[in-house]
Amino acid sequence: MTTMKKSIHDNANGLDYTLVNDHYLPNLTAAAPAEHPTGRWGRLHKTYLKEQHPIRYNQLLLSGVLGSYLAKLDKQAEEQLALTIRQMQDSAVG
């Protein structure tokens, strides 16, 4: 009978595994989500990702970067909206 190691490391995916009964289970921990304020555009994009790109949504969620990704996208959208409004105002005046 072969004795199995209590824990192993997989270099291919970088995860550590612990032996539980006859199976190796990954040592996963959920990091506390960082607070990133997400406005309207971030919320809309989150809904879009969930509905149209669930794999990408899960990748972002599980990697812990969804909040910062949505906050960055929201900021860019707000800046673009402000620029568009300024350009429209300038063209109406001039």
With a threshold of 0.75, does the pTM exceed it? no
How far is 10 from 16, CA to CA, in rounded Å? Answer: 6
| pLDDT given for residue 33 in this prediction | 59
In this prediction, residues 14-32 reach a mean pLDDT of 83
What are the extents of the domains in the chain? Answer: 1-30, 37-93
Cβ proximity of 4 and 19 under 8 Å:
yes
| pLDDT given for residue 59 in this prediction | 94
pLDDT tens-digit series, residues 42-65:
999 999 999 999 999 999 998 889
Cα-Cα-Cα-Cα torsion 8, 10, 13, 19, nearest 10 degrees, comes to -30
Q: Which of 12, 7, 5, 2 is nearest to 26 (CA)?
A: 7
Give the whole-number percent of the chain exceeding pLDDT 70. Answer: 91
